[in-house]
């Protein structure tokens, strides 16, 4: 069994992958500092520094020292968004886990909309309403989402929305590989009894830092990953234990 960590003291842990976001660190501290006291669940933040080459880690250390509800882990080198997300899921021991991007193009305040629904679903995800991205970026996203939806049949409108809440036991079972963070609804549906709901959330322009996504990893990556998902779907294992003498009965 994994050793107990501080996230076990909370009901909800928000995972925030960070890669070269030094211009957003103070904004993250302010946004979460305002949100955590009004969150309907006892919540903390887990920053995952993805081997940043700027001063992001120093900023994360500073804000974590100033707020006891801020925690962090740090990679020794850059491993990518999916790895950062998986590491967060692996470390979390609260019953619920959330995910949000460090660019704050979505707001933690909208977690309250998702948390209203999470008791009835395996996962609740946002749909970015009135997106504030460029026409070209929106077009790329629309094409990628349409292709993925056709290939997976998951029905998800906006898998790129960086606002998600999952039951932690569901999150820990996700078969994540590089790039498959875009397939969370489809991966949740692979699990026996897996369900999800989509909820409209607000979207804002990026005000600091640079996007880590471009034409290649927004279109070509998801195109190839769809075939990996279809291979996985045919081979995914589900089982239910009906009886055992390993776990003591209450």
Is residue 1 assigned to a domain? Answer: no
| In the chain, beta strands by DSSP E | 12-18, 43-49, 70-74, 96-100, 123-128, 163-167, 196-201
Is residue 245 assigned to a domain? Answer: no
113 or 4, which is more confident: 113
**Separation CA 112–CA 247 (nearest Å):** 35
The mean-pLDDT minimum among 57-61, 131-135, 177-181 falls in: 131-135
The pairs formed by 55-62 with CB atoms below 8 angstroms and a separation of 24 or more are: 55/22, 56/18, 56/19, 56/20, 56/21, 56/22, 56/25, 59/22, 59/25, 59/26, 60/18, 60/25, 62/25
Is residue 19 assigned to a domain? Answer: yes
Provide the number of structural domains found in the chain. 1
Is residue 242 assigned to a domain? Answer: no
Domain CATH number, residue 24: 3.90.550.10
Is residue 71 assigned to a domain? Answer: yes
**pTM, rounded to two decimals:** 0.82
pLDDT of residue 118: 98
pLDDT of residue 106: 93
224 or 28, which is more confident: 28
Domain of 137 in residue numbering reads as 6-235
pLDDT of residue 203: 84
Query: What does the block give as tokens for 232?
Result: 């996985």
Is residue 224 assigned to a domain? Answer: yes
The mean-pLDDT minimum among 36-40, 146-150, 220-224 falls in: 146-150
Is residue 134 assigned to a domain? Answer: yes
Is residue 249 assigned to a domain? Answer: no
């Amino acid at each position: 069994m994994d050793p107990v960590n501080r996230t076990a003291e909370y009901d909800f842990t928000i995972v925030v992958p960070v890669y070269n976001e030094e211009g957003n660190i103070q904004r993250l501290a302010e946004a979460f500092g305002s949100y955590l006291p009004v969150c309907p669940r006892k919540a903390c933040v887990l920053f995952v520094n993805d081997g940043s080459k700027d001063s992001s880690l120093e900023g994360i250390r500073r804000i974590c020292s100033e707020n006891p509800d801020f925690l962090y882990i740090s990679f020794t080198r850059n491993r990518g968004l999916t790895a950062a997300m998986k590491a967060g899921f692996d470390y979390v021991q609260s019953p619920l886990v959330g995910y949000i991007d460090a660019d704050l193009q979505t707001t933690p305040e909208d977690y309250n909309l998702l948390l209203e629904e999470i008791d009835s679903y395996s996962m609740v995800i946002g749909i970015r309403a009135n997106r504030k991205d460029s026409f070209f970026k929106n077009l790329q996203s629309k094409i990628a989402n349409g292709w993925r939806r056709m290939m997976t049949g998951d029905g998800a409108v906006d898998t790129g929305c960086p606002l998600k809440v999952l039951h932690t036991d569901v999150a820990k079972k996700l078969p994540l590989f590089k790039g498959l963070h875009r397939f969370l609804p489809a991966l949740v549906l692979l699990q026996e009894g897996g369900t999800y709901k989509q909820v409209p959330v607000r979207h804002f322009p990026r005000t600091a830092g640079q996007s880590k996504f471009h034409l290649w990893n927004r279109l070509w990556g998801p195109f190839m990953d769809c075939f990996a998902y279809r291979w996985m779907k045919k081979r995914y294992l589900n089982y239910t234990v009906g009886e055992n003498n390993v776990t003591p009965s209450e």
